[in-house]
Structure 1
Amino acid sequence: MRWQEFSVQCPELAAAARDRFVADQLVLLGTIRSDGAPRLSPCEVDFAADELMLGMMWRSRKALDLRRDPRLAVLSLPAGKDNPGGDVKLDGRAVEVADPDLRERYCQAIEARIAWHPTGDYHLFVLDVERAATVRFDPADGMMTVRRWRPGTEVSTERRPG
């Protein structure tokens, strides 16, 4: 489901993801190489037109991966080994954006964020969310809290030793 619907279906994890991704401005993107091996790449994310957007350099390996196989994982950047902000992970599929209006709205969002916008060719994808999770470690009690969600379910919360 697209970001706007995800935000309605699972507001708790959508808000955590949005806050984290906006603050970090960068995520780890997991794609699948042509030989089936995983590829991890840094990727900037932006929110525009109620979508989570992933812009990429023209013909970059990660963009070509997604054009061939749209499955992906988006993971927040850990802030050190203790990672006090926890992790946010979204799994889903990339949908390439051809719509000129949506591409323009992406350009406006990125320009507002970093006073730059793409010129020439570039790849742009929106995320269809299929699963979401957060993990947070509490050093005070040594426990880890894991929250998980899939479409059609409530958020499940599990606390266990970290």
Structure 2
Amino acid sequence: MRWEELESNQPRLAELGRDRLLGPGVVLVGTIRRDGTPRISPVEPWVMAGDLWLSMMWGSTKAKDLGRDPRVLVHSVITARDGSEGEFKVRGQARAESDESMQRRYADEVAAGLGWRPEPGKFHLFAVDISDVTFVRYVDATGDQFVTRWPAGREFVRRGTGATTVGEPEPYQDLLDPSSLP
């Protein structure tokens, strides 16, 4: 799935994703290292031409990871321990983009939007083919955990039952457009 499909099918979830992923200007990206262990790295995300894009320094280890194994997790930055801002997660496959015209377009948009200009042909550019979007937020006072998943089309709350425990999922409707559910 492309980012534009999320925007078309679930605009409220996509808007939240733009806020949580693009708002801070940096995300954490999980890749798989050569030895099979995970690597977490900061990356600047960008949405352009209907896709979620990740650019990386030429020859970076995270780019090499994606060259070997394209599985990727894009995770919003968390800045408060109470969990109220929530975690926005995108799972999928990174697709390398080496077309110089697309890299130029990306460089132009990033220069206008972020104030720095990557040099086409001298950075790695990946579009994320999205398989799953998950948003999880917590209510510190009650311990409740609210979960939204797309394209599974699931929303539920797990009520806090203790300081470190939650109950079984209960139906809950908040972010997803019910007319677009599978």
> TM-score if structure 1 supplies the norm length?
0.90
Matched residue SS, 2:79: coil
Q: How far did 1:85 drift?
A: 1.3
Does 1:142 find its partner at 2:143?
A: yes
Unaligned runs of 5+ in 1: none
Matches within 5 A, 1:32-47: 32-47=32-47
Matches within 5 A, 1:80-91: 80-91=80-91
Q: Which has the larger radius of gyration?
A: 2
CA RMSD of aligned residues (A): 1.6
CA distance in 1, matches of 2:157, 2:143: 14
1:12-51 deviations in whole A, cap 9, x for unaligned? 3222111111211100100001111111011111111221
> TM-score if structure 2 supplies the norm length?
0.81
CA distance in 2, matches of 1:19, 1:47: 12
Q: Which has the higher contact order (CA 8 A, sep 6+)?
A: 1
Query: Is the Cα contact below 8 Å between 1:49 and 1:102 reproduced in 2?
Result: no
Could you say which residue in structure 2 is the equivalent of 1:127? Answer: 128
Matched residue SS, 2:84: coil
Q: How far did 1:79 drift?
A: 1.1
Number of residues paired by the alignment?
160
Q: Which moved more, 1:80-89 or 1:58-67?
A: 80-89
CA distance in 2, matches of 1:104, 1:155: 38
The 4+ residue runs of structure 1 with deviation greater than 3 A are none
Matched residue SS, 1:24: coil
Unaligned runs of 5+ in 2: 161-165, 167-182
Matches within 5 A, 1:5-84: 5-84=5-84
Aligned-residue sequence identity (percent) comes to 41
